[in-house]
Structure 1
Amino acid sequence: MKTRYSHGGDEHIFVEMDEEMSLDAFFKSLSMTNALREAKIDGVTEICPANASCQVKFDPDVIAPDAMLEELKKLEDVAEAAEKRMTTRIVEVPVFYQDPWTHETLMRFRERHQDPSGTDLDYAAKINGFDNAEGFIAAHHANPWFVSMVGFVSGLPFLYQLVERERQLQVPKYLRPRTDTPKQTVGYGGCFSCIYSVRGAGGYQMFGITPMTIFDPKQEVSYLRDFMVFFRPGDIVKFSPIDRDEYDRILKEVEAGTYTPKIAEVDFDLEAFNADIAGTNAKLMEALDGA
């Protein structure tokens, strides 16, 4: 991977690990931001990791832009040599696929879509070689996903599927963004799935909705009282399909403060994953059985 550095005005440096998203690029970005925090360089005010990149904000009155750039380049070797493993958590996220709320929304915006004749799932299935929407849905929840970034809007996770590159599901975003997307919609754009943390505009294809709140600025939801954002980079997600009755039941529990997300602590080793993707995924998902 060829790392590219670029200045953003006088106060930012953008570090791009690779033009393509990959777990190798993510781990290098994560290692570099960890090394930067540990270095405690005077003048650094903010460190923002992303999918395959990171951005650093600094005070140019404390450290000059060129000096900041040199410090970052020194840390690149540290990032390359760092172990690509972490202790993290796997989370089960219930999803009501083909729900009525995202369906109503997507039908309102068909003129902005590549294929106005069907639904977002119909289109996703067709371009990925599935016979129907059900086949695509099965592929979407069959394997776990890696949270590579949280942001764009508060609490929104970008999720990268843990499968071989040739098996990656890919679906382009809408031709023109919508002005409305239901809160907690499970969407897809490019190689990333996501969960919309708030209601608002959006361009990702819409496949379903989760009753599990993932962002609560008031911190009233029982499992978000310590921090308003549920996901963090490095989390692993297992989507679990549910029906309308299960959706309603979980939603009531969330609102009553009695719902607890299903979570298990796991170790993720990139080298072991690359050597045996299916075996690694099976072990990750088995960890949820005892949670």
Structure 2
Amino acid sequence: MTRTLGVVMDPIEKINPKKDTTLVLLLAAQQQGWQLMYMEQSWLAIENGEATASMAPLEVYDDPESWFKLDERRQEPLASLDAIIMRKDPPFDSEYIYTTYILEAAERLGTLVVNKPQSLRDCNEKVFATLFPECSPPLLVSRDPKQLKAFRQLHDDVVYKPLDGMGGTAVFRVRPDDPNLSVIIEMLTQHGQQTIMAQKFIPDISNGDKRILMVDGEPIPYCLARIPAKGELRGNLAAGGSGVVRPLSDRDRWIAAQIGPVLKDKGILFAGLDVIGDYLTEINITSPTCAREINREQDTDIGGKLMDAIAKRLS
């Protein structure tokens, strides 16, 4: 029996097919015989209590010049789908939250949503990491300027960043002699009105910000170390970093072992751990990336593993 997989994503014609992780997942699903249905965030609705969407049958191709074909859209209940993968990129704003409500309505009728809508709402990617203090560097989540300044005084070299940022945006390193401490805190907290995170600076960032992909609580055995460009703090590929595929270290595997059971318990089948040196810094669950880069160098079949995990949950 053919199963149907829906995908909620950014406009497919605008993705970069050479590196897009969502395309990797869809190619794997199609290879395993899934029928694909494509949706954009604005196509979802709740009508008389029923979650519906204007959805289009989708075919995908591993071709950087022509990677998809869409058939005519039709209005269907979301519950007609066996599973849905939510791959809409941040920002995590009010519209993102409303989308999780719609997906949750389908989930209540038996459709498997990956990742679980409640967990998408509950698990802020930076605050979620604070559940694992044994894995994390010294950190502070606060909007109190006095607390944030005291943290810098205690740890000398620190990083400040917003809780809702992505791609390394608005990340600041503050050294002991930096005269911009006050203005950075004022800007990020909007004069004490917005909560941010402070972390002790980890010098190992020069060796890369490692993205470890987790499928159903288990780590892929290779990670992508994102190396900062010369003169840069951030290793994010979106900020100009370069990626190097590496095997997981013993410490990486230990960190993954602490987090994996919690991910499974929360219905988070696909996640990306960000690890610098020996420390967990973030847990990405909204739209983890880097599968294409890792698959390209190692026979990891990340998309196939995720589809196997989804099929296991359905059966």
Q: Same fold (TM over 0.5)?
A: no
